[in-house]
Amino acid sequence: MNQYELALVVSAKIEDEARAAVVEQAKDLVTRFGGTITNVEDCGRKKLAYEIQKMKEGYYYFIQFDADAATPNEIEQRVRIMDNVIRFLCIRRDAE
């Protein structure tokens, strides 16, 4: 099993319940494809480095999980089409 981290930037224009649903949907994707979530970090509302889709702020979430090598690709394919996710990045973490 490898360690991965999924970074999500969620739209600041949606309600709290909808934002929580987006994060839960991402967590469900991880578990559906055989991953085990180890940590979810909510970094809150932050200013974006540049304007994306006429938005200057977004909510940042970092989901750390353990999974096989094929899992991140499956997750990225589904996160890519989620409506309220404006940016995402899935990386492999080094063992600490």
Give the pLDDT score at 39.
95
Query: Which residue did the predictor score with more confidence, 95 or 57?
Result: 57
pLDDT digits (tens, 9 = 90+) for 16-51: 999 999 999 999 999 999 999 999 999 999 999 999
pLDDT band at 94 (very low <50, low <70, confident <90, very high): confident
The residues near 4 (Cβ < 8 Å, ≥ 6 apart) are 35, 64, 65, 66, 67, 71, 72, 90, 91, 92, 93
Query: For residue 56, what are the domain limits?
Result: 2-40+47-93
Helices 71-79 and 16-32: crossing angle in degrees, nearest 10, is 150
Q: For residue 13, what is the domain's CATH number?
A: 3.30.70.60
Which among 23, 73, 65, 28 has a CA at the least distance from the CA of 44? 23
pLDDT tens column, 68-84: 999 999 999 999 999 99
Output the pLDDT for position 1.
87
| pLDDT for the residue 26 | 95
Q: What's the pLDDT band for 96 if we cut at 50, 70, 90?
A: low
Global pTM reads 0.91
Domain count, the chain: 1
